[in-house]
């Protein structure tokens, strides 16, 4: 819930002007709903995509305050986040709802980024893998035909705790093994698993070097165009 239209437009112009078209790494912005159309307009032709921060499972109806996949696509989105940790915490979204949202996204030609991860209490209690397995199974229960996964260690966001590259890799490797059992080895190998635990220019190089970390779901660092560009360039170098 950041930026006003003029700020978002300036940010998008700076980003598009600093990147090759298309960028060497896939880049997607997930602005607030009021900024989607402005971002899509400024980024047209740049190769940078736009996504929604949330989606309602229904295509239309009496769901005041929500956005459907039809509306997101109409506004210029090609992607959407499903089950972000802040949606789970602030709005009580459960695992089954996240699965329905992921399925709805694909029905409207949006690529869902399914977010999952454990809290500090769950990690300290030794339940991290149990939580991730439960969330992944529920997210795929509706059998969305396409998706990406984002691992958000909630305990490493704004808590002073740190997820080392080794800890992050352990979680990503676990998710890929689980995905292999749920969707097959080919799907598991081709699905990108992004890291979303306070990624910043100082840690992304070591993180992207891990074999099962394929990119980043960037939080606060994405509000600074120079920091965001630095992260994008690290990913681009890794992809070459």
List helix spans (H) across 92-164: 95-107, 120-124, 128-139
* Non-local CB neighbours of 38 within 8 Å, separated by 6+ positions: 5, 8, 9, 12, 31
Query: What pLDDT is recorded for position 98?
Result: 98
Q: Catalytic annotation on 9? A: no
* Residue 212: how many other CB atoms lie within 10 Å: 18
Question: Is 171:151 a contact under the CB 8 Å cutoff?
Answer: yes
Burial classification of residue 128, based on how many CB atoms lie within 10 Å of its CB (0-12 exposed, 13-18 middle, 19 or more buried) = buried
> 137 is in which domain, residue-wise?
5-239
Q: Catalytic annotation on 84? A: yes
Residues of the chain with pLDDT below 50 are: none
Strand, helix or coil for residue 155 = helix
Q: Which one of 42, 93, 152, 178 is the catalytic residue?
A: 152
Domain count, the chain: 1
Query: What pLDDT is recorded for position 157?
Result: 84
Q: Which one of 56, 84, 122, 178 is the catalytic residue?
A: 84
CATH number reported for the structural domain that contains residue 83 in this entry:
3.20.20.70
């Amino acid at each position: 819930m950041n930026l006003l239209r003029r700020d978002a437009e300036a940010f998008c112009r700076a980003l598009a002007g600093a990147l090759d078209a298309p960028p060497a790494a896939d880049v997607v912005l997930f602005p607030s709903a009021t900024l989607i159309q402005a971002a899509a307009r400024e980024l047209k032709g740049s190769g940078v995509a736009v996504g929604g921060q949330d989606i309602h499972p229904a295509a239309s109806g009496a769901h005041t305050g929500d956005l459907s996949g039809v509306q997101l696509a109409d506004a210029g989105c090609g992607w959407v986040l499903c089950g972000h940790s802040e949606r789970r915490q602030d709005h009580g979204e459960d695992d089954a709802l996240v699965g329905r949202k992921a399925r709805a996204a694909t029905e409207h030609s949006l690529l869902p980024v399914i977010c999952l991860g454990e809290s500090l209490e769950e990690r300290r209690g030794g339940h991290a893998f149990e939580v991730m397995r439960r969330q992944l199974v529920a997210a795929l229960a509706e059998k969305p035909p396409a998706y990406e996964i984002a691992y958000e260690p909630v305990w490493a966001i704004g808590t002073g705790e740190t997820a080392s590259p080794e800890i992050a890799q352990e979680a990503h490797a676990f998710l890929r093994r689980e995905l292999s059992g749920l969707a097959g080895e080919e799907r598991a190998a081709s699905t990108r698993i992004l890291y979303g635990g306070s990624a910043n220019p100082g840690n992304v190089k070591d993180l992207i070097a891990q074999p099962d970390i394929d990119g980043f779901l960037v939080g606060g660092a994405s509000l600074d165009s120079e920091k965001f560009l630095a992260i994008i360039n690290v990913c681009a170098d890794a992809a070459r």
